[in-house]
Amino acid sequence: MARLDLADRASVAAFVATWDGPLHILVNNAGVMAAPERRTAEGWESQFAVNHLGHFALTTGLHGALAKAGGTRVVVVSSVGHVNGEVLFDDVNFEHHPYDPWAAYSQSKTANVLFAVEAARRWAADGIAVNALNPGRIAATNLARHIGEPANAPASFEPGRSSGVSVKNIAQGAATSVLLAASPLVEGVTGRYFEDCQEAGPHRPGVRRGVADHALDSSKAARLWRLSLDLSTAAERRS
């Protein structure tokens, strides 16, 4: 067991530096949701920093170990919340837009899917499969600690207003991650988005299911990868 704080670049770098040997399965499962406005030491908005940039640094830093294993699987836990918003490429840290915790969350979850799309493309020759998923709404975790009463969430997130949303217990919520991490049923599948243990169809307005077109856009996926590298490089120069 090793310490890892995804909001701390130094912690991620230290974790990567101490990893030894091949890595067969990596599940990017950590996250925060609808958090109040906070900044990391680099000035990054906390949800984008933890949910995307921290996992980006971790996964790219472990690329050598993943490639060494062969037939590796990377599982990226996103959310149906990605359908609510795209990545604000010109303002990912909400420096010019009014901060909204749900908009920031949606941006970070879209970033998760875009990361899977681009990593799958870049790492196919290394035998690394990368897929994203929606685990469903799982009440029995601490993820929703910032929401308080359900009435504090926007209408699209309320159980009574969310058509088709997948409400699950912890075991059910973990099932799609386990499928993507270990099942022979998805051997060779990469760059996709899953929910309820199957590949998701297109998102339809008014339904809390499916994958939005903006999250599978290959040009946006490549742009996000470049942006993530640029942010990391700029932070290193300031250190």
Residues 170 and 24: their CA atoms lie apart, in Å, by 24
User: Any catalytic annotation for residue 99?
Assistant: no
Q: Are 123 and 130 in contact (CB under 8 A)?
A: yes
- The C-alpha atoms of residue 55 and residue 78 are separated, in whole angstroms, by 12
Which residue of the set 94, 102, 105, 123 is catalytic? Answer: 105
Decide: 48 and 231 in contact? Cβ < 8 Å.
no
Look at residues 38, 19, 30, 79 and name the one whose alpha carbon lies nearest to residue 56.
Answer: 30
Rg from Cα positions in the chain? 17
Place of tokens 């599978």: 216
Distance of alpha carbon 103 from alpha carbon 99, whole angstroms: 8
Task: Supply the residues annotated as catalytic.
Answer: 105
